[in-house]
Copies of this chain bind each other. A is one copy, B any other.
């Protein structure tokens, strides 16, 4: 297979590793705006050679893993350059604006809108790991708009990576994901900010913080370049989820101020259900 990965960082690089494992004969071409990342990806053996958009016409598969603001700009150009038999897969954490950007593109049938729920808080080619996608959920939007033969090619590969496929429309995706992903990142970033502001002497944090704090702020290590455009594109849903989150925090604070400790206990007890809900979420080593 002839695979082109556009944006050869954690997501694209890990995909390249898995494809090589499943189809060792795959020729992988890397495209990235950062010459440094391209060089690094070549050194690490994530790609076989560098390329550019002129290489797209002969590709069997194009895997696009770039920030969502770049996706909206580049995806139409990518579709301009692909061949009839090329399937283009993206990995954007938002779907509504991205699907809208190519809605009327003559080659819309070559595009499969995807969001694999996989990643770590690290980024760049060196962050690429084996098996990142194993057992993970892959949300596919507007599948009916993609040529059947091209769907098949992508799905076969996803099955080879043991991914769970879920079909959704773009607006439902963006709404759900605001809660289970985007909001977590904001709560984590702001928790980190609150503690850093308070603990001017960072030594104190290091000495007193335990694994619980580390786990809760883990996402605050994430890349602002990747996340700023996600929040921008999903602004409406993210703001809504933030308002509900803040409201719940306010309520909890008020219960403390009212010494309503039975309610405080109940609030936590009800939320303990998350144990059962989360059972089976595949954890990424990171």
Q: Which residue numbers of A lie inside 8 Å of B, CB to CB?
A: 117-121, 136-137, 139, 164, 166, 176-177, 179-181, 183-199, 202, 204-222, 224-225, 227-229, 231-232, 235, 238-239, 241-246, 248-250, 252-253, 256-257, 259, 261, 264-284, 286
User: Could you tell me if B256 and A249 are in contact, using CB atoms closer than 8 angstroms?
Assistant: no
User: Could you tell me if A206 and B284 are in contact, using CB atoms closer than 8 angstroms?
Assistant: no
User: Could you tell me if A209 and B190 are in contact, using CB atoms closer than 8 angstroms?
Assistant: no
For A275, list chain B residues within 8 Å (CB).
Answer: 221
Cα distance, A152 to B164, chains bound together (Å): 56
Cα distance, A272 to B281, chains bound together (Å): 26
Q: Specify how many copies of this chain sit in the oligomer.
A: 2
User: Could you tell me if B216 and A195 are in contact, using CB atoms closer than 8 angstroms?
Assistant: no
Cα distance, A208 to B278, chains bound together (Å): 10
Question: Which one of A208, A267, A279, A282 has the highest number of Cβ atoms from chain B below 10 Å of its Cβ?
Answer: A208
For A206, list chain B residues within 8 Å (CB).
Answer: 277-281
User: Could you tell me if A214 and B139 are in contact, using CB atoms closer than 8 angstroms?
Assistant: no
30 contacts between A and B (CB under 8 A): A118-B210, A119-B210, A137-B208, A176-B208, A177-B208, A179-B195, A181-B212, A184-B213, A184-B216, A187-B249, A190-B245, A196-B270, A202-B277, A209-B278, A209-B281, A211-B286, A214-B278, A215-B219, A216-B216, A216-B218, A220-B274, A221-B272, A221-B274, A222-B268, A224-B266, A224-B268, A231-B261, A232-B256, A239-B257, A249-B249
